[in-house]
Amino acid sequence: METKQSERLFIEAQKYMPGGVNSPVRAFKSVGMHPLMIAKGMGSKLYDVDGNEFIDYVCSWGPLILGHSHPEIVEAICAAVASGTSFGACSPGEIQLSKLICEAFPSIEQVRLVNSGTEAAMSAVRLARAFTGRDKIIKFEGCYHGHADSFLIKAGSGLLTTGVPTSSGVPRSFTNQTVVCKYNDLESVKKAFMLMGPDIAAVIVEPVAANMGLVNPKPGFLQGLRDITRLYGSLLIFDEIITGFRVCYGGVQTQLDIDPDLTTLGKIIGGGLPVGAYGGKKNIMERIAPQGDVYQAGTLSGNPIAMAAGAATLNVLKELDPYPGIEELTNQLTAGIRSIIDTYELECSLNQCGSMFSLFFAAPPLNDYESVLRCDTDKYANYFRQMLQAGVYLPPSQFEVCFVSAVHSQQDIAKTLEWLDICLNNI
């Protein structure tokens, strides 16, 4: 595979940007190679600056459930930009997107639109702290909610002790406000509440974890979080930034009929443009300025072009209802992968939720952070590089998920399985 242009541009990129990228995972460090420079996306394909074509299973880390350059989204963006790029003022597009979100999520009576998932999650936690008058939050090992200080905390030594920073620059004073529990382990949550329940403002959780590879919630785990937060007067925040409008035209909360107090959204609701959102019950959301005393703001929040892209995306999803078809296509792909794993008796496992899946290089079961750490990341890197050479663009990290879109084809699936068979036979 020719990568001369990518290599040349990456050298230049490193002159002006730390690591040559604007988000760490894109640097391909964990798969032991330099990143490709992407020139174009069309449908289910990516094209790099050297003209190589790839079947894309990253889909911009989730937003592109309708694939690249969907005609109705491109048309909506072009129409919006013809009227201007940003007003810094109220505009009808904000109402359109907010309405679509509130109609899709019964738990969301009001929503605030922001520019990223990080902004949404950090604002939801600030709101929960204000609403409850408490400071501590519980998050889970292996779950990611963006790069705000409160979240860049890993488990302390005794796990239930408050966390320790995962990143330089996070003051120690911040870490004692974040308690890290074990995903899928209700007992660890109950112990945390027994120790400090009256101080806990909120529990924030990815209802389906997608940042340690894909890990599904065990039956009863999420309902257990709902019950214990209600018991102690803490808020339950579902981070549906990945799962929102991905698992259905709603979220995991819709499928499981669980009613979180706050929900964070992102990715798909922007249709590929920068949009995040947090929302919930009106009596909580009315604490947000200018109505209430919790400050949160953003120059480009509600940007008209992003609103147009997001609303066009949700309208297509509502009309098309692509979910059964995408899930069926994903099932074909994962069934094929499973049969390859069985044929070669590989020490691999595969977790799937709807149109998301992860192939892990470790034996099952993989249902929490501790178990996914068993993965052979060198094998994953080898698999990634071989599949890239063959024309399949996978997430450049074992701890991300693959996404299938509404425009992936039977041919894409067949080609992926053909190359995966060759590749896994050589691992």
Choosing from 56, 94, 185, 239, the residue that interacts with ligand KE4 (CB under 6 A) is 239
Backbone angles phi, psi at 204, to 5 degrees: -110, 130
Q: Which one of 66, 241, 273, 413 is in contact with ligand KE4 (CB under 6 A)?
A: 241
Q: Which is nearer to ligand KE4, 138 or 340 (CB)?
A: 138
Q: Closest approach of Cβ 133 to ligand KE4, in Å?
A: 25
**Of residues 25 and 42, the one with the C-beta less far from ligand KE4:** 25
Interface with ligand KE4 (CB under 6 A), residue from 3, 30, 98, 116: 116
The beta-carbon contacts of 319-322 under 8 Å, at least 24 apart in sequence, are 320/406, 321/249, 322/65, 322/66, 322/406
Q: How far is the CB of 409 from ligand KE4 (least distance, A)?
A: 25
142 Rama class: left (phi>0) / alpha (psi -120 to 50) / beta: left
Sheet with 262-265: list strands edge to edge: 110-114, 276-280, 262-265, 235-239, 200-205, 136-140, 178-181, 159-165, 153-156
Sheet with strand 392-393: strands edge to edge: 38-42, 45-48, 53-56, 392-393
Question: Which residue in 400, 405, 420, 424 binds ligand KE4 (CB under 6 A)?
Answer: 400
Of 159-167, 239-247, 364-372, 411-419, the segment contacting ligand KE4 by CB under 6 A is 239-247
Q: What is the DSSP letter of 294?
A: B
45, 57, 136, 144: which one is catalytic? 144
- Rounded CA gap, 107 and 1, in Å? 49
Select from 15, 23, 157, 299 the one that contacts ligand KE4 (CB under 6 A): 23
Applying the rule CB under 6 A, the residues between 119 and 148 that interact with ligand KE4 are 121, 144-146
Q: β-pairing, 402-403 with 356-360?
A: antiparallel
Contacts to ligand KE4 from residues 44-103, by CB under 6 A:
61
Note whether 25 binds ligand KE4 by CB under 6 A. Answer: yes
Tokens read off for 256: 């499981």
Find all residues with CB under 8 Å of 16, minimum gap 6, and list them.
Answer: none
Q: Which is nearer to ligand KE4, 124 or 424 (CB)?
A: 124
Q: Among this protein's residues, is 415 annotated catalytic?
A: no
- Told to judge if 154 belongs to the known catalytic residues of this protein, a careful annotator would answer no
For the bound state, the minimum distance from the C-beta of residue 388 to ligand KE4, rounded and expressed in Å, comes to 18
Residue with smaller CB distance to ligand KE4, 10 or 193: 10
Please tell me the distance from the alpha carbon of residue 23 to that of residue 39, in angstroms, as a whole number: 17
- What's the burial of 271, exposed, middle or buried (CB within 10 Å: 0-12/13-18/19+)? buried
Task: Mark whether 136 is an active-site residue.
Answer: no
Examine residue 35 and tell whether it contacts ligand KE4 (CB under 6 A).
no
Out of 150, 211, 349, 351, point to the residue binding ligand KE4 (CB under 6 A).
Answer: 211
* CA dihedral for 356, 354, 111, 317, sign (positive or negative): positive
**Least distance between ligand KE4 and beta carbon 119 (Å):** 7
Q: Which two tokens stand for residue 136?
A: 């501590």
Q: How far is the CB of 286 from ligand KE4 (least distance, A)?
A: 24
Q: Least separation, in Å, of the C-beta of 418 and ligand KE4?
A: 28
d(CA 314, CA 26): 27
User: Do residues 47 and 41 touch, judged by C-beta distance below 8 A?
Assistant: yes
How many CB atoms are closer than 10 A to CB 412? 21
Least separation in angstroms between CB 37 and ligand KE4: 16
* 24 versus 324: smaller Cβ distance to ligand KE4: 24
The pairing of strands 349-353 and 136-140 is unpaired
Regarding 21 and contact with ligand KE4 (CB under 6 A), the answer is no
Of the residues 239, 261, 368, 412, only one is catalytic, namely 239
Q: Which residues bind ligand KE4 (CB under 6 A)?
A: 23, 25, 61, 116-118, 121, 144-146, 206, 210-211, 239, 241-242, 266, 276, 400
> Which residues are tagged catalytic?
144, 239, 267
